[in-house]
Each structure stands twice: as structure tokens, then as C-alpha cells.
Amino acid sequence: MKIIVAVDNNWGIGKNNDLLTHIPGDLKYFKEKTAGKVVVMGRKTLESLPGKKPLPERTNIVLSSDKEYRAACTVCHSMDELAEILKDYDSDEVFIIGGAKVYKDMMEKCDTFFITKIFKTFDADRYFENLDQHSEFEIVWESEMQEYKGLEYKFTEYRRK
């Protein structure tokens, strides 16, 4: 399985249930990587999407501990239930897309991490594990520096060693 996330200098990923910033190039990259694939997210992430609707052109799976929660996609109420559902999919086609708790819960099950590094520090209230501080991960690819309205960023791919 894979994780895809955008982080700031402190590996912040969000604030008040929203992205730290909206960079069209990053959103395009996200769409290119996940189109036609399976995306796994938490309830709050689903509810932060446009129209609070599942992402088009993808199989959406939402994890929520609320047993009454319903959405216009597959909803799992436990990690065991999620694991059972994911057996039906090629793990190489599964992307974990947030939020912070789902990333943390799924991190050990993932071997590839698509990290968009945004070279700015935002006021964040949600963070991703800093992969640069762990010897078990290595960068296997990174893009040239990108820029949007003065904001510099680059795409990176980490792999578990």
C-alpha cells in the first residue's frame, strides 16, 4: 500500500480539518497518482472534500468508528473490517489519503510514500511522521523544485528499506 500526503517544513498536514494550502500542481499530482485506484480515508477527510462526496474515478473507502455513519461509498468501522475489504484489491493499487489518525494507523502497512514537501511553515494542528528522522525510509525519487505564487515545493517518493 501507499501513502500520499503534502507536508510543510514541520511535517504539518492540516488545520481545522482542511489542507494547509491549495497548490493546483499538487492537486493535479494527487489526481494523477490516485485516479483509477483505491483511496482509503477517515470520515473527517471525506467530509473535507468538495461537496463532502467521494472522489470521482476512484474506489473510495472510509474508516469511521461511528457504527451509524453512512456515505456514498464503502464505510468500514474497524481496522479488521478494513483489512478484510482490502483483501479484494491489489495492495499496489491502494492509497491512504488521510487524515492524521488514518495515516498513523496504516503507516506500518505501507511501503511507498508520496510526499509533497512544501518549503514553508504553516500553523498546523495535524502532523505526519517525519520520515527523514527514521533510517528505515529512503528517498528514491524527487522532482525538480516547483513554484506556485512564491510557494516552493517538490514531489518526493520514499520507500521503506
**Confidence label for 112 from pLDDT (cuts 50, 70 and 90):** very high
SS (H, E, C) 40-59: EEEHHHHHHCHHHCCCCCCE
pLDDT at site 66: 95
pLDDT at site 125: 98
Interval 3-47: pLDDT, tens: 999 999 999 999 999 999 999 999 999 999 999 999 999 999 999
pLDDT at site 105: 97
What whole-number percentage of the chain has pLDDT above 70? 100
Q: What is the CATH number of the domain that holds 124?
A: 3.40.430.10
pLDDT at site 135: 96
Q: How many helices (H) and strands (E) does the chain have?
A: 4, 12
pLDDT at site 109: 97
The total number of structural domains that make up the chain? 1
What is the Cα–Cα distance from 32 to 51, expressed in whole angstroms? 21
**Nine-digit cell string for 14:** 492540516
The predicted model gives 104-115 an average pLDDT of 98
pLDDT at site 133: 97
pLDDT at site 76: 97
Q: What share of the chain is helix, strand, coil (3-state, %, to 5)?
A: 25, 35, 40
The predicted model gives 139-150 an average pLDDT of 98
**Confidence label for 150 from pLDDT (cuts 50, 70 and 90):** very high
pLDDT at site 134: 95
pLDDT at site 62: 98
pLDDT at site 122: 98
* Range of the structural domain that residue 89 is part of: 2-160
